[in-house]
A and B are shown apart, each in its own frame.
Chain A
């Protein structure tokens, strides 16, 4: 019999279990304490683990099944807490997924979901074989990745700048103002963009003309349009996205900064070694969740901004579905595209989650 401590590692299982999947390699290095052996099996022991100190499991004599039962019993009240949200998920999230079988059916309203004829992957074929499929996919990825790598860092920088600034008035003003554009709908945003960028009388083009340049048709030019989409999204949503990071920054223990100061760290080092790592879990979660919906590139925005001359760089999956599916009673098609997007998103989430785990970050599951 060997007494050892339970570790809070990525998959919350007790290390030392004979399951082969718990080889040393998979252990996230950041959480590893000492490495030892229990009954010939390599295992990791975390003597400093706070949880363990109160629990002190006697593992070796238990079979996995007994342990599971015990764990479940111990968490009885937790499951009770879970009951209502779980039922909610089944009704409001899984029943629609069940209804999503119309993606494989020729949906007839009178026959209902179950009564309609199966047609296999017909809707998926329609989508994948559509004339512009590759372009749609390319544009969609361009916008969602563009927004991810551009807007998200900007939001994080904004949050940190607000957190670090020594000027309370500036800080408060920016924080409140940056939050406002989120409430402007894209109809209004289009008005703003037109006032700024219209080739005839936009303010930017007035300035260009003042310096003797030729006016640029920003909104209908295929080179400029993607930038307009990404930048206008950043402008509108930056302050809004920063809120969650500001909230995360508030949880940082100030004593860490004191320690850093004593160590002689300057402001840059403080941000790099304390601030950023402290909000890393939230950043990781946000990025992972965004990856899960990578094929949603912002329908409302594109739909409002695009026009025929820029279709080649503006048409995304959702706008295509809107024109092809919703307006033509092809709900099976719309649902099929939703599933298609889901499969890609699921792969990305699973893949990146695995990566995150390997590098020892907090993961999604």
Chain B
């Protein structure tokens, strides 16, 4: 019997060795004269709309002008999927020439030696660098003193705001709350006094959902205005005086007590722990709650506001100031500069494609590239209005408009050229009249109001070290258990829990973060 087992194992080993040649990398074929082929893995503007068609005019222009054969791969819309795809390709040393990547993943690709520094590229792309890159963006991708990725402008900063149902306040004869105590009263009134006058007990004060990622810890940004009132907004306090994890500050406990009160009194929508983003967004359109933190376009862009407008023609949300806490602190939340990083693989540099990539990116930033990638072909996908703003009016085939289902496919690369300039903002957020209530709305106006409110600068907080999965879970699970009552929230339990947190690596995380922030001059006065 033993012998047979041995033979079996030996056989398997032998066969494995026979198949070893399978591991050898196939030789790369390099074309000498023809166009240089560049693989680009990009983040589509609207992934679900579909990729640019194979006969997209852009491919021909790029081939003709730059002698580049551009091969596109749309990254999955889900960030975790993106990470998995890129990391798998990285593991096989098969990264594309140019690809979008999140900073955490980039950091690991750098340590594996798979991406190339791009410091020398900035001066080769003067047009692009002028509008896209600055000191902060270069720092964002800096590891060991070198910049390893092009951090293009991403989402607009401070594009969220605290919104309240003005019509509900008016119905109940209340005014916009300014302090945490007033906020409690308003939330109670919204919950128990039938603010919409439908005779049903179906409304709540505050609406939220858990929105966390590697840099934003529990309970996430939808509740930052509450934490902000206690001065513990964001995962990190980025001030020189108090640098460190906010959870370690005594005020965090007070914020938790306040939050727990909201939950216990039932004045926060009880579904908030179960909601995902879409559910939350469906909920405010159904008039379930009267206070929330929401993004400007998700709130005010035409197609997003339309259902609310239809359901509540008299409904009105207004952007309010952040709530003042007991010590007079107030903040909508922390803000960082949002970036979309494009990295160049070391392999592409070895193959001598760096120059070509720079040419491509610089061309994209030229007027020709900017309008082609941003809005398509003039007269087909867009026209320019009197102020030179691209609009979708007066096109021969309205289906092809840049904002239409088909037109969207030819502008999928627009995030590679947009830098949140005025033209883009006007084109993206045009003024419109709502269908039912005939209000004039503009997501851009809402954005401007939101940006004028009090925010806490935390630029670079998304570069600080992230906790291990266990520590992160301990952090999030503990906080949520205090809120749901699975752990009793009192000083003793809180301190015990914080001590355990520190022991598990929380203190270490805190110290490393502070040291990193100091080293890189990320702290504010």
Contact = CB atoms under 8 A, between A and B. Distances in A.
A18 to B, nearest CB: 14
Given A198-B271, A198-B274, A329-B105, A311 B91 contact: no
B150 to A, nearest CB: 21
Contact of A308 (B108, B210, B269, B279): B210
Contacts of A311: 473, 476-477
A331 B470 contact: no
A94 B15 contact: yes
B273 A132 contact: no
A312 interface: yes
Contacts of B12: 94
Interface string A101-121: 000000111101110000000
A28 B275 CA distance: 55
Contacts of B71: none
Contacts of A315: 473
B87 A199 contact: no
B92 A109 contact: yes
B91 A331 contact: yes
B61 interface: no
A34 interface: no
Contact of B19 (A90, A112, A191, A219): A90
Instruction: Describe A's contact surface by its main secondary structure.
Output: helix
B206 interface: no
Interface residues of A, number: 45
Interface string A200-215: 1100000000000001
Contacts, number: 121
A131 interface: yes
Contact of B270 (A98, A199, A329): A199
A100 B83 CA distance: 21
Given A110-B112, A198-B274, A308-B480, 8 more contacts: A94-B12, A109-B112, A219-B274, A307-B273, A308-B218, A315-B473, A324-B470, A331-B91
A308 B223 CA distance: 15
Given A95-B16, A200-B269, A219-B274, A329 B108 contact: yes
Contact of A107 (B91, B104, B113, B204): B91
Nearest to A91: B19
Nearest to B105: A329
Contact of B274 (A194, A329, A331): A194
B114 interface: yes
B6 interface: no
B84 interface: yes
B213 to A, nearest CB: 11
Interface in B71-108: 80, 83-84, 87, 90-93, 104-105, 108
Given A312-B477, A315-B473, A327-B104, A199 B274 contact: yes
29 contacts: A21-B1, A91-B19, A94-B16, A95-B16, A108-B113, A114-B23, A131-B474, A131-B504, A198-B274, A201-B202, A201-B271, A217-B273, A217-B484, A220-B273, A220-B484, A221-B484, A308-B273, A308-B476, A309-B477, A309-B480, A309-B484, A323-B469, A326-B83, A326-B87, A327-B80, A327-B83, A327-B104, A328-B104, A329-B87
Interface in A290-324: 307-309, 311-312, 315, 320, 322-324
Contacts of B185: none
Interface in B1-29: 1, 12, 15-16, 19, 22-23
Nearest to B19: A95
Interface in B30-74: none
A166 to B, nearest CB: 43
A309 B105 contact: no
Contacts of B105: 329
A329 B106 CA distance: 10
Interface string B463-476: 00000111011101
Interface of A: 21, 90-91, 94-95, 98, 107-110, 112-114, 130-132, 190-191, 194, 197-201, 215, 217, 219-222, 307-309, 311-312, 315, 320, 322-324, 326-329, 331
A172 to B, nearest CB: 36
B486 interface: yes
Given A311-B476, A315-B473, A91 B22 contact: yes
Given A107-B91, A114-B23, A311-B476, A199 B271 contact: yes
B112 A308 contact: no
Contacts of B204: 200
Q: Which of B269, B270, B468 has the most chain A CB within a 10 Å cutoff?
A: B270
B90 A307 contact: no
Given A307-B210, A326-B84, A112 B23 contact: yes
A165 to B, nearest CB: 38
A329 B90 CA distance: 9
B18 to A, nearest CB: 8
Contacts of B273: 217, 219-220, 307-309
Nearest to A202: B271
Of listed A191, A197, A326, A329, residue having the most chain B CB within 10 A? A329
Contacts of B22: 91, 95
